[in-house]
Each structure stands twice: as C-alpha cells, then as structure tokens.
Amino acid sequence: MIDLSTAYMGLTLKNPLVVSASPLCEDVGNICKMEEAGAAAVVLPSLFEEQITSESNRLDHFLSYGSDSYPESLSYFPDMSDYNLGPDEYLEHIRRVKKSVELPVIASLNGVSTGGWIRYAHLMEEAGADALELNLYDIPVNPGVSGSRLEDSYHNLVALICSAVRIPVAVKLHPFFTSIPHTAKYLEEAGAKALVLFNRFYQPDFDLEAMEIRPNLVLSSSQELLLRLHWVAILYGSIGADLGVTGGVHDGKDVLKAMMAGAKVAMMTSALLKFGIQHLRAVREEILLWMQEKEYDTIRQMQGSMSRISAGRPAVFERANYMRVLGSYHFARTRH
C-alpha cells in the first residue's frame, strides 16, 4: 500500500494536502468536509494585528472615557468585521473546530509588530491550536527603514512568539527579500519550525473611468508554483526548518512537484474556491495513480529528490542557467 504520510513541524500528517487560510475555513461544516475529502490539516483564516490593536484601543478608550463616548472617534481603525472573525470569536472558532475534527488545526496571526501577538499566540495555544502560522504580511513604504532593520524586527517577533508558546510555529514569507536563504536561516534561528513559501501580495488596480484605486483579488494559477519550487529546491538541505508550499497548488502534479523540490506539505485554497472542497479527493487520487505508475511507495521517497543539492546539475537553480534559458527561445520566422 502506498504511504502518503508526511511530517510537518513535528506533526504527523496522513498526506501532504493542507488547506491554507481562506474564508472557507471560517465555517466548521466546511472544515469537516475538508477532512472527509482528504485534507491532512487546515490553516484557519488569520487573526489580523489590526483587529487585536482595535480591540485593545477600544477597551482603553471606554475604560478612560466611559460608555457614553462617541464611537465615531474610533473609526480610524480598519473595519475587520466584514471578512474575518474578531479576537474572541477566533478563539471560540478554534475550540469548535477542535471538537469537530481530528486533523491538526493551525491558527494564523497576520501582522508585523509584537502588539497583542504574544498574548493571542498563547491564547490560541490554550484554545487547542496544534500549531501557529505567522503571516508576515508587510509592505514597507518608509525609505528610511533598511532591509536589515526589517529582518531584525521579524527575527525578534518570531523569537518572542516561539518563546511564549509550546506549539510549533511556522512563518509565512513573501519572496521580496534581498537574500531569501539568509532570511530563512535567520528565522529558523529565531525558533521557526517551518517556513511557508510564498505569501501573495494583493495589489490594487487603477480604475481609469472612476479615477479610483480599487482592490483586486485574482485567484492563483499553477504558473505561480514555479517561483515556489525554485526557492524550496534551493533551501532544501541548507536549513533544518520544514518547508511548505502555498500559491499555485491546483492539482496532484503540483503537489508532487512541491514534494520533489523538498516541501513537506502543499497548501491550496484557490483550487478549492474554483472547484469545490471535493476537489481534494481528485488531487489525492491523482497523486496515488502517479506514484503507482512510477513505483513510489512513500511520499518521503520523493521529498527533495529534485532539490538543488540532489540535482545532477545544481546550476539550473543559479545564474549559470540564465543565458541558457534566454537562448532557448526561438522566434518564429515572419513571412514578407
């Protein structure tokens, strides 16, 4: 029998299929369906730093000025209620999910400063979360803040949270660091048990008719997987932290590629939003069929088999392959 099990942050998973954070995971019923369809773990939607800050400031405000104060004065805080659970509801959601399913539940914190993170990381652990994912979604806009200063702040934040909880902590990164290998090692030294590559920055679009800047949400495609494969394959074997892929995982072949690059888990959301939660069954069956045809007995056999340290030509991941790739394109001859 083919063994699909994998280990991630010390958690034993029945397969590498993990549902990443999305509105789908706000509903306990959906998570039950994910477990039935074959998901090995689920990442809950993020609790945002702004929500924690807003709640804390609202409490301070009412303690200082009384319940008759004007709520309009608090309007400068983002209104998070339309698309995410509040802090107290989030903790209750963890408890409800843990009572309803057996798969590991990974809580998520989204932000870049200490604020209430330490407290809520501890509360998430108490609520029953099996692990914690820190989503470092940060868009630097101050030219006076250097890259090294930002990396130091991320390191300190991760170190503080890892020291505050007993459950394993993963860090979800974006691909825009000057040196991803250095950042990865730095965060591992801070205590991160896993790194998830990569976060997707949602970029606003310009409406030329209304002359407005509008949010723009585009679901991922399998083409986005290539960037993740490239960096997971480079990092595999050079750091001790586990690696997870998120972004561009849509079918069984995408999962297999992630494993061969060196990932322990492959996370998906866009494919489930497109095709439904039951798509997990099709992905799992595609993996099993491929492994049977290629005579693989376990997922562990293939993990890292196409990484930089395992490749016969490691230069394919480096600058030496740049000119070769550029030279591989052939222009079609035009007729005159």
Token couple for 329: 């394109």
User: pLDDT grade, residue 111 (50/70/90)?
Assistant: low
pLDDT tens digit sequence for 218-277 = 777 778 999 999 999 999 999 999 999 999 999 999 999 999 999 999 999 999 999 999
pTM for this predicted structure: 0.84
In a domain, 58, yes or no: no
> In this prediction, what percent of the chain has a pLDDT beyond 90?
61
Most confident stretch, 203-207, 281-285, 318-322? 281-285
The residue written with tokens 């409800």 in the block is 96
Q: Which of 163, 170, 167, 161 is nearest to 188 (CA)?
A: 170
Greater pLDDT, 214 or 114: 214
In a domain, 260, yes or no: yes
* pLDDT the model gives residue 90: 92
What is the CATH classification number for the domain harbouring 206?
Answer: 3.20.20.70
pLDDT at 122 over 50: yes
Give the mean model confidence (pLDDT) for residues 137-145.
Answer: 80
Task: Classify strands 194-197 and 212-214 as parallel, antiparallel or unpaired.
Answer: unpaired
pLDDT tens digit sequence for 2-36 = 999 999 999 999 999 999 998 899 999 999 999 99
Helix (H, G, I), strand (E, B) or coil at 273: helix
Domain that holds residue 102: 6-46+84-310
Instruction: Give the chain's domain count.
Output: 1
Tell me the CA distances in angstroms from 231 to 59, 175, 225, one per residue in order.
Answer: 43, 9, 10
Task: Classify strands 6-8 and 212-214 as parallel, antiparallel or unpaired.
Answer: unpaired
In a domain, 78, yes or no: no
In a domain, 107, yes or no: yes
**How many residues are recorded in the chain?**
336
In a domain, 327, yes or no: no
* pLDDT the model gives residue 72: 36
In a domain, 122, yes or no: yes
pLDDT at 197 over 80: yes
* pLDDT the model gives residue 82: 47
> In this prediction, what percent of the chain has a pLDDT beyond 70?
79
In a domain, 334, yes or no: no
Q: What is the mean pLDDT of the chain?
A: 84
Ramachandran angles phi, psi of 206, nearest 5°: -100, 125
pLDDT at 204 over 70: yes
In a domain, 145, yes or no: yes
Token couple for 69: 């104060």
